[in-house]
């Protein structure tokens, strides 16, 4: 429980700070902090496999590519991010409204104490490599393969777009 409070707060704080951060690289780093804190939450639930894959996939691959693009394009130059465009202002307003709606919807559930009582105990195999393997490759084999196909199509599409046209 202490683990949850500390790292839940860390995840939340890092996420909020990321949104308000002006420097693109600092924002990406706060995103990494958020992802690592969520990984520790997985660990505190005994889901060691999810913990490791969260770090490898999100922190290790995806955000590194973000950073890569930020560094290559040089969008961290200060003049790019100094002013809010009207579009961004509208986005902020929309985001604030939807956040309020979500908090309002979740408030009755969060306030009641029945929430913790109703939850079933976490099974021993939760988040282990075996249980995830069984779910992915037996129970939901077809959706899993279709997702793979979708990603393959996206990859081929990128290859076609990036290919130089013969003259």
**Interacting residues toward other proteins by CB under 8 A:** 25-26, 29, 32, 48-49, 51-53, 55-56, 59-61, 64-65, 67-68, 71-72, 76, 128-129
Q: CB of 35: closest distance to other proteins in angstroms?
A: 11
- Nearest by Cα to 25 from 61, 59, 62, 74: 74
Q: CB of 110: closest distance to other proteins in angstroms?
A: 32
Of residues 61 and 156, the one with the C-beta less far from other proteins = 61
Q: CB of 87: closest distance to other proteins in angstroms?
A: 28
Q: CB of 48: closest distance to other proteins in angstroms?
A: 5
Of residues 4 and 68, the one with the C-beta less far from other proteins = 68
Long-range contacts from 44-53, C-beta under 8 angstroms, 24+ separation: 44/3, 44/4, 44/7, 45/122, 45/126, 45/127, 46/122, 46/124, 46/126, 46/127, 47/126, 47/127, 47/128, 48/127, 48/128, 49/127, 49/128, 49/129, 49/132, 50/127, 50/132
Of residues 23 and 112, the one with the C-beta less far from other proteins = 23
Of residues 10 and 67, the one with the C-beta less far from other proteins = 67
SS3 state of residue 121: coil
């Amino acid at each position: 429980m202490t683990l949850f409070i500390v790292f839940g707060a860390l995840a939340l704080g890092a996420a909020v700070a990321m949104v308000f951060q002006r420097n693109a690289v600092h924002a990406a780093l706060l995103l990494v902090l958020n992802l690592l804190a969520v990984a520790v939450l997985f660990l505190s639930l005994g889901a060691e496999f999810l913990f490791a894959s969260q770090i490898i996939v999100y922190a290790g691959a995806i955000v590194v590519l973000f950073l890569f693009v930020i560094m290559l394009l040089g969008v961290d130059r200060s003049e790019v991010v100094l002013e809010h465009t009207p579009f961004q202002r509208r986005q902020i307003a929309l985001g604030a409204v939807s956040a309020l709606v979500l908090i309002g919807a979740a408030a009755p559930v969060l306030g009641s104490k029945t929430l913790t009582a109703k939850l079933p105990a976490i099974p021993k195999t939760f988040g282990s490599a075996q249980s995830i393997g069984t779910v992915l490759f037996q129970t939901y084999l077809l959706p899993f393969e279709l997702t793979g196909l979708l990603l393959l199509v996206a990859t081929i599409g990128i290859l076609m777009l990036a290919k130089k046209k013969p003259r």
